Amino acid sequence: MADPQPLLELQRLDSEADALRARRDALPERALLGEREAEMAALESQRNGAKERELALGRDERHVETQVTDARAKAQEIEATLYSGKVKVVNELKALQVELRSFQQRQREYEEAELAVMGQQEELATEIAALDARGAALASEAGSLHAALAAAEAEIDAELTRLAAARAAVVVELPAAVLASYEKLRAMPRLKGRVVARIEGETCNGCHGAVPIAFASRFAQQAADTTTECPRCGRLILH
């Protein structure tokens, strides 16, 4: 039911639109989406760190693999010399055996180091897979929240469009000066959008203060379609 007083109807429409805009800003999906996006950003930087470690481990792995290959080749070379029959001097043979054992020992150490690196690579691959799974779950949640937010916003926007059309229809009924006073008062934060009031007895129901008797009686004699301002709070007083 539209209020017979266009000014009151205008205030009602504007208050309803304010409430809708506040609800639009405070939609829970918006806050949740923000949380998910922050989590996704944190996860992304964690994943970048893991990928850097993966590259470093790859370099370590190639390096230690070269060391294994070199030590093995060197040991094989010494072994070949040792059993070639070309070296006959006992001390030289003994020296070669010492050298062979040394390279074989080094080869085993490098092989162990290589296994350790490969173990770290496996752990890291598991870690990255877990991050990716979490990332996919977050992306899916964010997608649902996006859709829910868009739907809730569209619903409110349709309602705001309807209110704007109703407002336009009410505004044409108001004298320009009254509309200008209304807009000026609405822009005052202290009135919180409640800018239209009535005089009840000798009290303004906007500020709940008593108005001067002379004002009240003068106002009572004015035409019913005129508007004036409360001398206390400045609100537009309706008959």
**Strand duo 236-238 + 228-229: pairing:** antiparallel
By CB under 5 A, name the one of 68, 138, 170, 230 that touches Zn ion.
Answer: 230
By CB under 5 A, name the one of 74, 146, 232, 239 that touches Zn ion.
Answer: 232
Judged by CB, which is closer to Zn ion: 100, or 206?
A: 206
Chain CA centroid to CA 134, Å:
17
Smallest distance from the beta carbon of 182 to Zn ion, in angstroms? 15
Smallest distance from the beta carbon of 222 to Zn ion, in angstroms? 16
Query: By CB under 5 A, how many residues form the interface with Zn ion?
Result: 7
Judged by CB, which is closer to Zn ion: 170, or 206?
A: 206
Q: Which of residues 159-218 bind Zn ion (CB under 5 A)?
A: 204, 206-207
Smallest distance from the beta carbon of 191 to Zn ion, in angstroms? 10
Q: Cα–Cα distance between 202 and 194 in angstroms, integer?
A: 19
Smallest distance from the beta carbon of 197 to Zn ion, in angstroms? 6
User: Closest Cα partner for 221 from 239, 208, 201, 202?
Assistant: 239
Smallest distance from the beta carbon of 237 to Zn ion, in angstroms? 7
To 5 degrees, how large is the angle CA 100–CA 106–CA 108? 105
Owner of token pair 């870690």: 127
Query: Does 33 contact Zn ion by CB under 5 A?
Result: no
Structure tokens of 151? 């739907």
Structure tokens of 120? 């770290």
Judged by CB, which is closer to Zn ion: 64, or 185?
A: 185
Amino acid at 226: T
Beta strands in the chain (DSSP E): 196-200, 203-204, 228-229, 236-238
Judged by CB, which is closer to Zn ion: 149, or 196?
A: 196
The residue range among 6-14, 31-39, 107-115, 222-230 that interacts with Zn ion, by the rule CB under 5 A, is 222-230
Q: What are the angstrom distances between the C-alpha of 36 and each of 32, 42, 127?
A: 6, 10, 20
Residue 100 and residue 115 in contact, taking contact as beta carbons nearer than 8 Å: no
Smallest distance from the beta carbon of 33 to Zn ion, in angstroms? 43
Judged by CB, which is closer to Zn ion: 49, or 212?
A: 212
Binding site for Zn ion (CB under 5 A): 204, 206-207, 230, 232-233, 235
